[in-house]
């Protein structure tokens, strides 16, 4: 049985009381904190940086923090987030001039490393770096905002990446990000994903535990 990870995106959390909100979603059954970093350059939105990651650690958050970098360039932020307590760092290959070097930088700083592919990005980006990847994140919306709808062609892309991962024989997480809800999570899992980012589906409901429980019930079907 696959061990599925649910990673709430704190982009949709209450930033005025972020520590409490993150603690609550973890107490309510989430596995990983998905931390969206946007720079108003790679994507047209601006969010939070390494100081906030460190603040969550200082607040007592011990769960894995999965930093999704939507910034360009990436290398300085990789070092800063590793020092701020990140567990996983992923970035978009078109935001780094030297993708292999940036992946190695993440690993050299003791974090798990991953690449993020946008809806229109080619799977060829993965070809020469499979041996450095711990995570592959497929965007199922165009990056920059929460609350968008899942782009259906992501399902076919997930199937293709699942085959690549299985053929590699490596232990690589297949993560999906954007528009994941209770009513589509099962279909997304069947296409090959095993790590689910969900922002608005969880944080826009008062009862996080109810949503996470429903997601797990769907995944167990
Ligand atoms: C979008 C972010 C996502 C976003 C997902 O660029 O990477 O993590 O928060 O939000 P939902 O789950 O609402 O689509
Ligand atoms: Zn994200």
Query: In angstroms, rounded to a whole number, what is the distance separating the alpha carbons of residues 157 and 1?
Result: 22
pLDDT number for residue 220 = 97
Q: Please, where are the H alpha helices in the chain?
A: 18-27, 50-59, 75-83, 99-108, 154-168, 185-190, 200-203, 208-220
pLDDT number for residue 2 = 76
How much is the ipTM here?
Answer: 0.99
Q: Residue 173 class from Cβ within 10 Å (0-12 exposed, 13-18 middle, 19+ buried)?
A: buried
Query: In angstroms, rounded to a whole number, what is the distance separating the alpha carbons of residues 154 and 148?
Result: 14
Closest CA to 41 of 82, 67, 69, 81: 69
What does the pLDDT look like over 84-136, one tens digit per residue? 999 999 999 999 999 999 999 999 999 999 999 999 999 999 999 999 999 99
Mean pLDDT, the chain, whole residue set: 98
What does the pLDDT look like over 8-43, one tens digit per residue? 999 999 999 999 999 999 999 999 999 999 999 999
Is 12 known as a binding-site position? Answer: no
Is 177 known as a binding-site position? Answer: yes
User: What number does the ligand 1 atom closest to the CA of 45 have?
Assistant: 6
Q: Residue 109 class from Cβ within 10 Å (0-12 exposed, 13-18 middle, 19+ buried)?
A: middle
Task: Measure 34 CA to ligand 1 centroid, in angstroms.
Answer: 9
Looking at the predicted structure, is the pLDDT value of residue 194 above 70? yes
Catalytic amino acids? 36, 177
Query: In angstroms, rounded to a whole number, what is the distance separating the alpha carbons of residues 134 and 114?
Result: 6
pTM value > 0.95:
yes
CATH code of domain 5-220? 3.20.20.70
DSSP string, 28-57: TT---EEEEEEBSSSSS-B---HHHHHHHH
Query: In angstroms, rounded to a whole number, what is the distance separating the alpha carbons of residues 83 and 212?
Result: 30
Residue 1 pLDDT level (bands cut at 50, 70, 90): low
Provide the residue ranges of all domains of the chain, joining segments of one domain with +: 5-220
């Amino acid at each position: 049985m696959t061990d599925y990870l649910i990673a709430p995106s704190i982009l949709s959390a209450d930033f005025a009381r972020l520590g409490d909100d993150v603690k609550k979603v973890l107490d309510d059954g989430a596995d990983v904190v998905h931390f969206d970093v946007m720079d108003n350059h790679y994507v047209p939105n601006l969010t939070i940086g390494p100081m906030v990651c460190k603040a969550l650690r200082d607040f007592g958050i011990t769960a894995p923090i999965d930093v999704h970098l939507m910034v360009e360039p990436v290398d300085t932020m990789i070092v800063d987030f590793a020092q701020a307590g990140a567990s996983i760092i992923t970035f978009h290959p078109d935001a780094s001039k030297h993708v292999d070097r940036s992946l190695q930088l993440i690993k050299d700083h003791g974090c798990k490393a991953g690449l993020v592919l946008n809806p229109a990005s080619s799977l060829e980006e993965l070809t020469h770096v499979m041996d450095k990847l711990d995570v592959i994140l497929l965007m199922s919306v165009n990056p920059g905002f929460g609350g968008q709808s899942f782009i259906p062609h992501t399902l076919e892309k997930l199937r293709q990446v699942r085959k690549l991962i299985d053929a590699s024989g490596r232990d690589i997480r297949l993560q999906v990000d954007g528009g994941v809800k209770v009513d589509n999570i099962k279909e997304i899992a069947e296409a090959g994903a095993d790590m689910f980012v969900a922002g608005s589906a969880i944080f826009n409901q008062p009862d996080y535990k109810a949503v996470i429980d429903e997601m797990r019930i769907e995944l167990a079907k």
